[in-house]
Structure 1
Amino acid sequence: MLRAVLKGNRKSWDEYLPYIEFSYNRVVHKTTKISPFEVVYGFNPLTPLDLIPLPDSSHYFHKEGVSRDEFVKKLHEKVKTHIQQQNERTALKRSKGKKNLIFEEGDWVWLHLRKERFPSPRKSKLNPRGDGPFQVLQRINDNAYRLDLPRDYGVTNTFNVSDFIPFAGYDEEDEPTDLRTNPSQEGGDDRPWAKGPITRVMARRIQEELDLLKTSGLTKPKVFFTWTTQS
């Protein structure tokens, strides 16, 4: 609004602030159905047109404080109802056409690291916002699951489904043929072939496989990791 009022004359922007404030206070809000000024004081701010003729002061100021207090309480209840109705409409609009994700035990998922729950991994904006893949240990209900989360994270392993992204695994054309890495053949490994960016969990597993490779004398690690490009 300030940009539209100035029309390029930015040197005198502070002179327009009282008019901008008045406009914001008087405009009817979409959610509350009344202006912000009326929410607080119970009436709209007066304009020059309201002073011709002078308005009845009893409409704006009650002699009895109790009746005025009751009026404001009823007004706030009305605003609260409007806000709840708007929230319901917004939630319905966002959930329209959205598919519910259901995971079963043994599924693999990427985990979104929320800043309030993982302050250390998210202390830098350059750090990854997700990690994984992690395996689902238990399905508590359609919204809550327990993951096979390493203890060094220092948090409980129960998460909301909104923090998950399904792990797609590997493509058929990329399926390894080595007996030690192909779960469809006898003697194969049951763990998934991890495909995606190298996360902290993947790096830890790679190091574990390399250590195992050194001690067992195998020619290839049991878990293969590949890079994928992101568009």
Structure 2
Amino acid sequence: MDTILKRSTAFHPQIDGQTKVVNQTMIHLLRGYNSKHPKTWDESLPYLQFAFNRAIQGSTLKSPFEQRYKARHNKHHVPCNFKEGDLVWLHLEKERLIGEGKKLKSIHYGRFKILKQIGDNAFQLELPPYMPMYSVINAENLKLFEPSLLDDDLDEDTFLPSVDDLKIE
């Protein structure tokens, strides 16, 4: 939904229809909620904002909260095209690496075998025993392992991090 809200001020009230409806709705909510104590209207704004954002809208049949965060979730969703037995690269965050020159160390390590799928977006990997991390990894941190055509005779430990590269927690 590519909507653009126009900001307004008291001296230049040029706003779009959507903002006008939201403002009217908030005024109605404030009147109903603060009818007995009108001077404390500012204290109730967070509660009314939450109520408005959780209310289902008639035009979309969804709440504003659901629309906003579902779109954000879908934007970052990684399609899972992995299956059990696949070999994958594992992306390690820089915080897991230690030692001199950690900024220049590789952050992708691999050939890790997928043992099983857990849920929609997580996989259990066969990690070496010296890697101090949980073996269930989100698909966002995995990439299908595709060896280079030039690397015919790679030994199995070529792309694995060393014990000196990782934090042991």
TM range (shorter): 0.5 to 0.7
Contact 1:109 1:167 survives alignment (8 Å): yes
**1:199 equivalent in structure 2:** 159
Residue among 22, 36, 44 paired with 1:70? 44
CA spacing shift, 1:122–1:154, aligned 2, 3 Å: farther
* AA in 1 matched with 2:52: K
Displacement of 1:128 in angstroms is 1.0
Contact 1:145 1:159 survives alignment (8 Å): yes
Give secondary structure in 2 for the equivalent of 1:151: coil
Give secondary structure in 2 for the equivalent of 1:146: strand
* Structure 1 gap segments, 5+ residues each: 1-29, 36-43, 51-58, 177-192, 205-231
* AA in 1 matched with 2:87: W
Tell me, yes or no, if structure 1 residue 168 matches structure 2 residue 151: no
Residue among 83, 92, 114 paired with 1:113? 92
Which of the pair has more CA radius of gyration?
1
Displacement of 1:45 in angstroms is 5.5
**1:82 equivalent in structure 2:** 64
Displacement of 1:140 in angstroms is 3.0
Distance 1:138 1:122 in 2: 35
Distance 2:53 2:117 in 1: 40
CA spacing shift, 1:137–1:93, aligned 2, 3 Å: closer
* AA in 2 matched with 1:143: N
Give secondary structure in 1 for the equivalent of 2:104: coil
Root-mean-square deviation (CA, aligned residues, Å) is 4.2
CA deviations on 1:90-144 (whole Å, 9 max, x unpaired) are 434565xx7432221x32111000235x243798321111111112233334422
Tell me, yes or no, if structure 1 residue 158 matches structure 2 residue 132: no
* AA in 1 matched with 2:89: W
Task: Give TM-score scaled by structure 2 length.
Answer: 0.53
Aligned residues: 130
**1:103 equivalent in structure 2:** 83
* AA in 1 matched with 2:117: R
Give secondary structure in 2 for the equivalent of 1:152: coil
Task: Give TM-score scaled by structure 1 length.
Answer: 0.41
Q: Larger RCO: Structure 1 or Structure 2 (Cα < 8 Å, ≥ 6 residues apart)?
A: 2
* AA in 2 matched with 1:108: L
Distance 1:167 1:128 in 2: 15
Between Structure 1 and Structure 2, which shows a larger proportion of helix residues?
Answer: 1
CA spacing shift, 1:64–1:122, aligned 2, 3 Å: farther
Tell me, yes or no, if structure 1 residue 136 matches structure 2 residue 124: no
